[in-house]
Amino acid sequence: MKIAISTEGKTVDSVLDNRFGRCDYFQIHNTENGEVKVIENEGKISSGGAGIAASQQLLDEGIDVIITGNLGPNAFKIINKANIKAYQCDEVSISSVLEKYKKGELTELKMPGRAHHGLAH
């Protein structure tokens, strides 16, 4: 299984970024072989549609699960249609995020968060 986490950095000590479409990186943790792949979020520099770009990038990576702070309406629609589970987590270290996921302590995102427009944070 591949778990993508929106993050501010490239290590397990980095912190989860609440912003899905505008996060700096996605860490992709493969639970089957232990590999970790870090990709730069292509959506973060978009003038609009950041969530759509980020969602498509993760679909291309074959993600099974996304852990983030919130998903905007467009990203939520794409992720939901692709049958990818999305979970909400607070801004804690990636190692803590993974531990919470393994323990079943994260809340599944059943509805989108509010839309963001442009480069505003």
Domain map of the chain by residue range?
2-108
pTM above 0.85, yes or no: yes
Q: 91: which 2 tokens?
A: 């801004």
Look at residues 16, 43, 17 and name the one whose alpha carbon lies nearest to residue 119.
43
- The domain 2-108: what is its CATH number? 3.30.420.130
Report residue 22's pLDDT band, with 50, 70 and 90 as the boundaries.
very high
Q: What is the dihedral of CA 52, 57, 62, 67, to 10 degrees?
A: -70
Distance between CA 55 and CA 62 in Å, rounded? 11
Look at residues 48, 40, 45 and name the one whose alpha carbon lies nearest to residue 4.
40
Q: 5: which 2 tokens?
A: 């986490």
Distance between CA 102 and CA 89 in Å, rounded? 13
What digits encode the pLDDT tens for the residues 25-53? Answer: 999 999 999 999 999 999 888 878 899 99
Under 8 Å between Cβ of 6 and 20: yes
User: What is the H or E stretch that residue 27 is in?
Assistant: strand 25-30
Q: Which residue has the higher pLDDT, 120 or 24?
A: 24
